[in-house]
Amino acid sequence: MILNIGSGEDTSLWYHHWVGDSPIYKIPNIRIPDSKAHWRVSHIIKNSTWDLSQINHLLPNYLCNLILATPLSSITTRTDSLRWTLDKSGSFSIKSAYHSSYVPKNMNCTIQICWKKLWKIGVPFKYKMLLWNLCHSILPVADILARKVPGLDPICVRCFESVENHLHLFRDCHSSSTLWSMIFQFQGQSFDLEYNLFYSKNWDEWITYNLSGSSQWKIIFCIAIWHIWSYRNKAVFYSKMGNSSSFYNKFWVDYKCTNNMGQMDKEMQCLKKERRWLVLQ
């Protein structure tokens, strides 16, 4: 935030941020005379123009030039006001605040995919949001939680055989691998995927492999991931374990509904493009 100067009567010359990158008193080697410590910006404004004759010897040349380049209002009664410097309009916006605080570390993600394409996958937003978390390996699986919570058991509650990391949860656990096997059995031949490659890759390679497939396979992958995560949470929080047939059936119904909704959206877009206004004679 920075102060826009109107009359200058409400802004301290030295201690408020109204010019440059910080208040003037923070600039190295600036000495503020006691006789001028109380000055307001209005003390260096005369007839709506800057008058630096009494302070130019106290300021570096670049700062004097910045002050002289700062526009002044011709309305002398205009009050000073705050301006948000991260938006051209001068008004605060959540978007500009987010971008100013965002540090593009890519969340330590090592997966090489096109993020724009991820958000264009034809599934509900919550599925894509889960997939984004999955790609960054930040879901609260037992392995991650056990590192932060003393005494927490990192073993998978669905099979009680291995540590529950992301790869085990979404591919290698018996219930997950059963779902994938059924998908391959009934759908895999249509998508030119290799069963052995699917199960031989490490975590990063596995995600990249599945998100490099056809648009339909990406939809299947997203929906399967969602149901595996939901199935796992029911086991963790409610101790509910469904059978593999019902697991696959719920996935399949969801997939068909998602596909139908996507088809309807495409038809509506075509209708909008084909719509023409009739000229009344």
The pLDDT tens digits along the chain (281 residues) read: 788 888 889 899 999 999 988 999 999 888 999 999 999 999 999 988 999 999 989 999 999 999 999 988 777 778 888 887 777 777 878 877 766 665 455 455 666 677 888 899 999 999 999 999 999 899 999 999 999 888 899 999 999 999 999 999 999 999 999 999 999 888 766 677 788 889 999 999 999 999 988 889 999 999 999 999 999 999 999 988 878 888 999 999 999 998 887 665 554 555 555 555 555 55
Q: Where does 123-214 have alpha helices with state H?
A: 125-135, 142-148, 166-167, 174-186, 195-200, 203-210
Residue 167 sits in the same domain as residue 241: yes
Residue 78 sits in the same domain as residue 121: no
Residue 54 sits in the same domain as residue 193: no
Residue 177 sits in the same domain as residue 263: yes
DSSP state of 153: -
Total domains, the chain:
2
Residue 21 sits in the same domain as residue 132: no
Residue 42 sits in the same domain as residue 77: yes
Domain containing residue 115: 107-274
pTM for this entry: 0.59
Which of 42, 68, 101 is at the close of a domain?
101
For tokens 């996935």, name the residue. 251
On whether the CB atoms of residues 84 and 76 are closer than 8 A, the answer is no
Rounded to an integer, what distance in angstroms lies between the CA atom of residue 18 and that of residue 13? 8
